[in-house]
Amino acid sequence: MRQISGGVCAAKGFTAAGIHAGVKAGSSPEKNDLALILSETECSAAAMYTTNRVKCAPIYVTMAHLEDGAAWGVVANSGNANACTHLSHEKADEMCAAAAAATGRAPRDFVVASTGVIGQELNIDAITTAMPALASKLSRDGSTDAANAIMTTDTKRKEIAVEVELGDKIVTLGGIAKGSGMIHPNMGTLLCFLTSDCAITPEMLSTMLHEVLPRTINRVTIDGDTSTNDTCAILCNGLAGNDLIEWKDNNYTAFKAALTEVLTYLARAIAADGEGASRLLTCTVHGSRSEDAAERLSKAVTGSSLVKAAMFGADANWGRVLCAMGYSKAPFRPERVDVKFCSCAGEILVCKGGVEVVFDEDKAKEILSQEEVVIDIDLNEGENYATCWGCDLTYDYVKINGDYRT
């Protein structure tokens, strides 16, 4: 497996584009806010959505469109969530209809997604007006424009592609994502679109997505707020010519490794670019009796406001790590817990057997001042482990969210 460029256009047969449609009144003309991805042939498609009881209309529309496990493309906007308004459903339908008209496809060939403010009416006219120009921009170089178009408070574009050999064929898988705020485990918690030229049945694709997402994207938490709009969709058009993946054979395993690689990359990128984040926080819990317990412990630590604020201050306040583990409801023995802080500047043991050890505060400060910090927790009870990703809690998070809507 190797990383390549091209994002969602890296795989054979996919084009993409992004454009400024003016979805949000007064938004900068420099900022793309409408994205289109299209395959030249029909794709096996699968998706996972937010577990929030309040779901945006585009999710319901996409669910209906993917009932047959097939799709041709994705249309998505930023600047408005198209959620909790009188006409949300109609507008999601109109978005698909506009994309279909501009590309010669049918409305139900599209995955549709929105991200932005909840509860404000979507400016569908801006979208339908811009759609023909957007469709005419579709190209093999369009992934970056599309990735830019789905960003909201993201400061960095999230885009990746990998190649993997399945038998004697090269299969390519690429993806783009947006994250930043309202990010918390439980499905997608963001927008993420993946494209591949792999030949795979919709059933196997859905199975694979359900295996990989919970261990990658769902292990990111930024602020504990699971959005109403999270969608992760994958489209595979089969143009790589590999033997069709119909069961869990070696090709399934190899392609699953590629999917894990791509989604892990995007999960880390989303965590590192959390709203206001100054550093990526990785928490690995190992030595657990179960992976589930390790995951819950790791999520509690990465999700703790107090741990996150301490990480912002590069403060080796490991007591907050134990406190967060304690209220996670996961089983573990506090008296066996070892905690280390690690980064490119080294590692330092701060807690052994659940109690304090003498450590060099200056060294700890240096370790915690790096761009990526790992909280390494050993439960000393078993063989299972899990890693979750998050970021620190900073003044900028408060600033961004204190007045995001207006």
Phi-psi region of 212 (alpha: psi -120 to 50; beta: other; left: phi over 0): alpha
- x/- track of binding to a second copy for residues 302-321 (CB under 8 A): -xxxx--xx-xx-xxxxxx-
CB 78 within 8 A of CB 98: no
* Residue 404 in contact with a second copy, rule: CB under 8 A: yes
* Residue 386 in contact with a second copy, rule: CB under 8 A: no
* Residue 394 in contact with a second copy, rule: CB under 8 A: yes
- DSSP state string for 186-203: SS-SSEEEEEE---B-HH
CB 341 within 8 A of CB 367: yes
Q: Residue 166: which H helix or E strand, with range?
A: strand 158-166
SS3 88: helix
Binding a second copy (rule: CB under 8 A), the pick from 69, 214, 241, 326 is 326
- DSSP state string for 333-357: -GGG-EEEEEETTEEEEEEETTEE-
Which of 320, 349, 352, 347 lies closest to 336 in space, CA to CA? 352
* Residue 399 in contact with a second copy, rule: CB under 8 A: yes
> Which of 62, 128, 189, 302 is the catalytic position?
189
CB of 363 to a second copy, least distance (A): 14
* Residue 49 in contact with a second copy, rule: CB under 8 A: no
Binding a second copy (rule: CB under 8 A), the pick from 45, 138, 351, 368 is 351
**Cα 193 from Cα 73, distance rounded (Å):** 10
189 noted as active-site residue: yes
Looking at 68-76, 117-125, 199-207, 209-217, which segment touches a second copy (CB under 8 A)? 117-125
* Residue 405 in contact with a second copy, rule: CB under 8 A: yes
Tell me, by CB under 8 A, how many residues bind a second copy.
68
* Residue 322 in contact with a second copy, rule: CB under 8 A: yes
**Cα 166 from Cα 295, distance rounded (Å):** 31
- x/- track of binding to a second copy for residues 66-105 (CB under 8 A): ---------------x-xxxx-x-----------------
**Cα 146 from Cα 239, distance rounded (Å):** 22
Nearby residues of 275 by Cβ (< 8 Å), 6 or more positions away: 153, 180, 181, 222, 223, 396, 397, 400, 401
* Residue 360 in contact with a second copy, rule: CB under 8 A: no
* Residue 107 in contact with a second copy, rule: CB under 8 A: no
CB of 341 to a second copy, least distance (A): 13
* Residue 356 in contact with a second copy, rule: CB under 8 A: yes
Q: Which residues bind a second copy (CB under 8 A)?
A: 51-55, 81, 83-86, 88, 117-121, 181-182, 184, 186, 223-228, 303-306, 309-310, 312-313, 315-320, 322-329, 332, 334, 351, 354-356, 361, 393-395, 397-406
Catalytic center residues: 189
